[in-house]
Amino acid sequence: MRVLTSRVFSSPLRLSWRCSRSFHASPAYRDTIDLAYDLHDNNGQATGAPILILHGLFGSKKNNRSISKALARDLARPIYAIDLRNHGESAHTKTHNYTALAADTEAFLKKHNLKDATLIGHSMGAKTVMTMALRNPDCCADIIAVDNAPVDAALASDFPKYVEGMRKVEEAKVTSPKEADAILEPYAKSLPVRQFLLTNLIRSPSEPLKFRIPVRTLTHALDDMADFPFTDPEKNRFNKRALFVRGTRSHYVSDDVIPIIGKFFPRFELADIEAGHWVISENPEEFKRGEYYLC
């Protein structure tokens, strides 16, 4: 894993990891929801500053179970793996944008009295922690944004296909994961991706399988997930440490956006990990090598 530390770049560079575009301040978001979570504290031995880890679109806290347990053990810091709204065991609501996601997570920090937290987010979770840091820099000690950048950028074309496939699965009223996989295959060719999406399937007594997540709501939210709510780094800037991690086979953090990252997060570091978009699950050992950043 190659690493360089830098401030604001005048030209795009290719960098790597080692152990911190803006809008006007957004108004307070009042309709927050209580977030489901799992606490990993190494049987009570992890007593340091807390770490929150936020999943990506269509994910849940279960995706981060293994890495959370490992970080709690290695760093002696409690890890709160969160289900964001409309995901996992958290409540469903029609509003799904980064302002709402950030406000929910800020409310979680306050409710649990979590101070000096590190915020780790992947993809949708990455933009959520960036939004939190720029909205309210005092809410955390530092952030780690995994495979996303503080820019408006279209989601990979695969994501609309995924939601179309999931809607087809629900319409077919399937009764087994095998049936669901067969319907989803034309929309998600990769078996690991299908397995990831199908972790959202749940069974109710005497009823067809259905997705735990509100597929229609998230379909309508895809444009919001591509956006970023800040556009002026002169007005909103996070002057604490920020680590940006990108997959070498992913397009979400291109060299072109590095100067923009530097304007919003002037103390940022950038890490490259051999992986696609699902960096943590694809290469957890390489991701863990950045533990010293969290010490």
- Catalytic residue, candidates 60, 123, 250, 281: 123
- Say whether both 126 and 34 belong to one domain: yes
Choose among 56, 284, 24, 248: nearest CA to 155. Answer: 56
- Do residues 240 and 124 both lie within one domain? yes
Q: 33-42, 89-98, 186-195, 262-271 — which is least confidently predicted?
A: 186-195
Cα distances (Å, whole numbers) of residue 282 to 37, 155, 278, 287:
23, 19, 6, 9
User: Would you give the end-to-end CA distance of the chain in angstroms?
Assistant: 18
pLDDT of res. 28: 53
Specify whether 123 is catalytic. Answer: yes
Range of 234's domain? Answer: 3-153+228-294
Q: Evaluate if residue 155 carries a pLDDT over 60.
A: yes
- Report d(CA 169, CA 182) in Å as an integer: 9
Task: Please give the residue that has the higher pLDDT: either 88 or 156.
Answer: 88
Same-domain pairing of 62 and 192: no
Q: Mean pLDDT over residues 108-115, rounded?
A: 97
Quick one: pLDDT at residue 294? Answer: 76
Q: Please tell me whether residues 264 and 135 are part of one structural domain.
A: yes
- Same structural domain for residues 263 and 290? yes
> Structurally, how many domains does the chain consist of?
2
> Do 195 and 112 share a structural domain?
no
Q: What is the pLDDT of residues 273-290, one digit of tens each?
A: 999 999 999 999 999 887
pLDDT digits (tens, 9 = 90+) for 6-18: 333 322 323 333 3
User: How many CB atoms are located within 10 Å of the residue 283 CB?
Assistant: 18
Rounded to 10°, the helix 98-111/124-135 angle is: 70
| Alpha-carbon radius of gyration of the chain | 18
Tokens 């629900």 found at? 170
Domain end call among 222, 254, 275: 222
User: Are 271 and 166 in the same domain?
Assistant: no
**Same domain, yes or no: 108 and 249:** yes
CB 127 within 8 A of CB 98: yes
Q: What is the pLDDT of residues 258-270, one digit of tens each?
A: 999 999 999 999 9
User: Do residues 140 and 176 both lie within one domain?
Assistant: no
Report the pLDDT averaged over residues 39-56: 97
Record the tokens describing residue 14, joined without a space.
Answer: 């290719």
Identify whether 277 is a catalytic site residue: yes
pLDDT band at 205 (very low <50, low <70, confident <90, very high): confident
Q: What is the pTM of this model?
A: 0.88
Whole-angstrom distance, CA of residue 113 vs CA of residue 210: 36
**Residue 253: which of 175, 178, 150, 170 has the closest Cα?**
150
Tokens of 30: 């009042």
- What CATH number is given to the structural domain containing 19? 3.40.50.1820
Tell me: do 11 and 112 sit in the same domain: yes
DSSP secondary structure string for all residues of 177-210: HHHHHHHHTTT---HHHHHHHHTTEE--TTS--E
Rounded mean pLDDT, 25-52: 86
Last residue of a domain, one of 222, 243, 260: 222
Among 122, 250, 277, 281, the active-site one is 277
Residues 197 and 243 in one domain: no
Write down which residue in 202, 222, 242 finishes a domain. Answer: 222
Do 105 and 232 fall within a single domain? yes
Distance CA 184, CA 215 (A): 14
